[in-house]
Amino acid sequence: MLQKFYEYLRFEKRFSEHTLVAYTTDLEQFIVFSEVTTLQDIPQLKSVFIRGWIVQLMEDGYSNKSVNRKLASLRTLFKWLRKEGICVENPMSRIRGPKVEKRLPSFAREQELGSDRTKHLFNDDFNGLRDELMLELFYQTGIRLSELIGLSIQDIQSNSIKVLGKRNKERIIPLHTDLINLIKEYIQKKQDQFSPTETYLLLTEKGKKLYPRYAWQLVNQVLGATTTVQKKSPHVLRHSFATHLLNNGADLNAVKELLGHSSLAATQVYTHNTIEKLKEVHRKAHPRR
């Protein structure tokens, strides 16, 4: 029923596979609830019916955040239906999702991610070098998990990396000299061990493209061994990257570009940490402390 819509999301909106799966799940769930059988039936649904779906979702135990994500999928569908001339009115214009409490991003302290704390965790073989490189790329570039897995040899430049982000948006991230040397060392060992025709940067010990679960487990283990953070995922290293940059005086717009955010609002969530840093500096430095 929605195949043409999914093609629109994939080829025109350039949504990632992860986002496409989420939209498919959300909309199939809505179709089951609404019991519509054709695309033309969907515009007949009124806002009061959609509010009933919201109530049903919350009674089923979905969080406010999950409900809002499902409503976002539905909003995109109705916008497309209007674009295609299939419906005139958009019932989603009268829908407001449940309020979501804003959570502050989890991040590790700078000293917890120092090389003196992490270096001894890795062996000197190919696997150890790859794991160390993976951790440093996460922390020193703020790269997303999907972006890291998709890195190719061609993305490595003399002193930077080219990252393909959400909706195929490219960005360039500069690299520290130590990280450049680590990449060169890893690539040499990779070429010695595997066929040079393999274009992906990070490989398993069998020479296959690295899978996300492995990267997630590695970061979980490292953060568990070196930090006190409760959440232990690659995104915590992305949060740490942004927070530490801002705490050390980086411009907010520059951090936005490095993270690949489409709007400044998404980056501003990290500024609360710089405010805490300012409070600490004031407390230590002011004579009336």
99 is catalytic: no
Q: Which member of 23, 70, 130, 144 is catalytic?
A: 144
Q: What angle do CA 15, 36, 28 make, to 5 degrees?
A: 35
Q: Which member of 82, 117, 235, 277 is catalytic?
A: 235
Alpha-helical runs (H) found in 142-259: 145-149, 177-193, 212-226, 234-247, 252-259
75 is catalytic: no
Tokens 């490189």 — which residue? 133
Q: Which member of 70, 232, 239, 261 is catalytic?
A: 261
Residues 44-71 as b or e (16 or more Cβ within 10 Å = b): ebeeeebeebbeebeeeebeeebbbbbb
Q: Which member of 238, 239, 244, 256 is catalytic?
A: 238
Q: Which member of 69, 166, 189, 272 is catalytic?
A: 166
Tokens 């019991």 — which residue? 35
6 is catalytic: no
Q: Which member of 23, 139, 186, 270 is catalytic?
A: 270
18 is catalytic: no
Give every CB contact of residue 135 below 8 A, 6+ residues apart in sequence: 118, 218, 219, 222, 237
Give every CB contact of residue 178 below 8 A, 6+ residues apart in sequence: none
- Beta carbons within 10 angstroms of residue 210's beta carbon: 19
Integer Cα distance of 66 and 6 in angstroms? 20
166 is catalytic: yes
189 is catalytic: no
CB 159 within 8 A of CB 174: yes
Secondary structure (DSSP) of 79-128:
HHHHHTTS-S--GGGG--PPP-PPPPPP---GGGGSHHHHGGGS-SSHHH
Residues 230-242 as b or e (16 or more Cβ within 10 Å = b): eebbbbbbbbbbb
Catalytic positions, written as ranges = 144, 166, 235, 238, 261, 270
